[in-house]
Amino acid sequence: MNLEQLRALLASLDVQMRGIIEGADKEKGLTEEEATRYDSLEKQFEDAQRNIERLEKAEKRASFMNEPVSKPVVVVAADERQDNDIDEARENFWNMARGLNFEKRSLNTATNSEGGYLVPESFADTIIMKTAEKSYIRDLATVSTSTHTENMPVEGDDGANGWIDEEGTYPESDPTIGTIQLKAYKTGRILKVTDESLQDSVPSIEGYVAMKFAKSTTKAEEAAFISGDGNSKPTGVLVTATVGKTAASATAIAPDEILDLMTSLDEDYEGNAYLMMNKNTRNAIRKMKDSNGQYLWVQGFGGNPDTFDGKPIRINKYMPDIAAGAKPIAYGDFSYYHIKDRKVMTLKRLDELYAGTGHVGFRIDKRVDAKLVLADAVKTLQMAAS
């Protein structure tokens, strides 16, 4: 199906799901048959949503590749690439990884005591790009790359103007500025590759390592971006954000509590605000209505996100479920969440460790830090303790 067909399918499924809810017995709720039918429609709905997201990302990539550039793009023949120093260094690096002959002097040795080699910059760029493609928060956050620890200025009190009489005294009011340090926490793994796979060409092994490492890196980063405690990992949004509303129950959310959460956010941050939750929380609040019987949740079409009371929703699988003391919903301007990637990555080949099973290990790491630089820019809904 193309995007237009998938969006039409979403609209049809949404109508059917609402019909089941509205036609159910008001006191007894859904029958077993109705519940089964609803669950089936909901699964189709979620599958269609995921397909739409994939196609939209593919369209964005195609659009990016077709954007005009200041210099003409030239397709360089394979034999000409051998004369390019950057491509030669890249090929030499992956020859090292495959255990072939390579020119050691052309490789950059990592400065840490554990050894290894710095990966080519193009490979580091690929990892960062692939983690962004699978991320739930990076496109809402402020993302940049760096080569060193940064101290970021953070706004405190803005200071205040006063009204001044002719030849009167100007009020002294200094803004307060704090600092937040973005470091370089290391996430990594050992990736095992069969001896047979290493006999393949450079693009094959490079693509395989990039795909596997990017996938596992994304999982580690995304979990930390939400709930990381800042101890050898990034500090999560939920750790820094202030609580805007505490639910009366430990296991259920009332519509007014979400509206109160949204009201708790200062108007300065509403223009770019999103609601963030996982799909289990979404399913719990999808049936909520306002005092006029209108659904607060509205399905988005034409590439637009779903909304709740007019505000866009971002589903994030790493947000916690509804449970005692948990913070299942966050609302705010996530551009105040700053992610700093280090482009310096290292890879070390481990020949002996897995030789008995016909594998070679690659120890690879990436460094990143992230923090919410302004706690009031994002508010959370916290469930009751019990």
Averages of pLDDT over runs of 10 residues in the chain (386 residues) are 81 85 77 86 86 79 56 48 58 70 54 63 84 92 84 66 84 68 91 81 75 92 97 97 98 96 96 96 90 87 87 96 98 97 87 88 93 96 96
CATH code of the domain covering residue 224: 3.90.1690.10
Q: Are 220 and 226 in contact (CB under 8 A)?
A: no
Specify whether the CB–CB gap between 273 and 331 falls below 8 A. Answer: yes
Q: Which residues of 129-150 are buried (b: 16+ CB within 10 A; e: fewer)?
A: ebbeeebbbbebbebeeeeeeb
The verdict on 127 and 40 lying in the same domain is no
Domain count for the chain: 2
Q: Quote the pLDDT of residue 112.
A: 44
Residue 164 located in a structural domain = no
Dihedral of alpha carbons 121, 123, 128, 132, sign: positive
Please indicate, yes or no, whether residues 308 and 239 belong to a single structural domain of this protein.
yes
Paired residues of 188 in beta bridges = 365
Range(s) of the domain holding residue 40: 3-55
pTM for this prediction: 0.72
Note whether 244 and 142 are same-domain residues. Answer: yes
**pLDDT digit string, tens, across residues 94-148:** 777 777 655 555 555 544 445 677 888 888 888 888 888 889 999 999 999 887 7
Q: Do 244 and 348 belong to one domain?
A: yes
